[in-house]
């Protein structure tokens, strides 16, 4: 796992989210009311809505485009909708947030 620091927990409003741009696509980083941090691809499987701009409630987020709801823990769509978003490993160390990438963020040589 390749860990990259992206900022501090205070950079994200509680029950809110921010996004991070990476060479592997945009990642949404979410902070719940009880300060858990989650990360997943910022791309709704329905029509590509930017999930980091949805409403965060409990450990889930509602997509801003057509209201699908996803679990932040598993990335699975909740309720009757079917689909899933790829989640990403996150660590919080001393209030700093680290995102884990399986592949190194390097251009192929």
Partner 1 sequence: MTEKLVIIGNGMAPGRMLEHLLEAAPDRYGITIFNAEPRVNYDRIMLSPVLSGEKSFEEIVIHGDGWYVANNIMLYKGHKIVAIDREAKTVTSDHGVTEPYDKLMIATGSVPFIIPVPGNDLPGVLTYRDLDDVNAMLLAAQSRQTAVVIGGGLLGLEAAAGLKERGMEVTVLHVMPTLMERQLDPAAGYLLQRAVEARGIKVVTRANTKQIVGNGKVEGVELDDGTIIPATLVVMAVGIRPNVTLAKEAGLTVNRGIVTDDRMRTLDPDIFALGECAEVGGHVYGLVAPLYQMARVAAAALAETGEDLFAHADTPTKLKVTGIDLYSVGDFADGDDREEIVLRDAAAGVYKRVVLKDDRIIGTVLFGETTDGAWFTDLQKKQTDVSQMRDTLIFGQAFQGGASADPLAAVAALADDAEICGCNGVCKSKIVSTITSRGLTTLDDVRAHTKASASCGTCTGLVEKLMQLSLGDSYNPAAVQPMCSCTELGHDEVRRLIKAKGLKTIPAVMQELEWKTSCGCAKCRPALNYYLVADWPDEYADDYQSRFINERVHANIQKDGTYSVVPRMWGGVTSSKELRAIANVVDKFAIPTVKVTGGQRIDMLGIKKEDLPAVWADLGQAGFVSGHAYAKGLRTVKTCVGSDWCRFGTRDSTGLGIRIEKFMWGSWTPAKVKMAVSGCPRNCAEATCKDVGVICVDSGFEIHFAGAAGLDIKGTEVLGLVKTEDEALEAIVALTQMYREQARYLERIYKWAKRIGYDEVRRQVLDDVERRKAYYDRFVYSQQFAQVDPWSQRVSGKDKHEFQPMAALSLQQAAE
The answer for 34, left when phi > 0, alpha when psi is -120 to 50, beta otherwise, is alpha
* Alpha carbon distance 92, 51 (integer Å): 21
The gap from C-alpha 69 to its chain's centroid, in whole angstroms, comes to: 13
Asked if 42 contacts 28 with a C-beta cutoff of 8 angstroms, the reply is yes
Residue 4 binds which entry of ligand FES, partner 1, none, CB below 5-8 Å type-dependent: partner 1
Residue 39 binds which entry of partner 1, ligand FES, none, CB below 5-8 Å type-dependent: none
Longest dimension (CA), the chain: 44
Site residues for ligand FES, 29-48, by CB under 6 A, read 44, 46-48
> Of 4, 10, 13, 66, which lies in the binding site for ligand FES, with binding defined by CB under 6 A?
66
Q: Does 65 bind ligand FES (CB under 6 A)?
A: yes
Interface residues with partner 1 (CB under 8 A) are: 2, 4, 6-7, 11-16, 18-23, 26, 29, 32-34, 45-50, 53-58, 62, 64-69, 77, 79-85, 99, 104-107
């Amino acid at each position: 796992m390749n860990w990259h620091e992206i900022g501090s927990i205070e950079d994200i409003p509680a029950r809110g989210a921010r996004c991070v741009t990476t060479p592997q696509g945009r990642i949404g980083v979410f902070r719940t009311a009880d300060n858990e941090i989650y990360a997943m691809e910022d791309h709704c499987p329905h029509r590509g809505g930017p999930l980091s701009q949805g409403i965060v409630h409990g450990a889930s987020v509602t997509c801003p485009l057509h209201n699908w709801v996803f679990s932040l823990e598993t990335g699975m769509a909740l309720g009757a909708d079917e689909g899933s978003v790829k989640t990403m490993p996150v660590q919080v160390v001393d209030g700093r947030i680290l995102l884990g990438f399986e592949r190194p963020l390097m251009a192929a040589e």
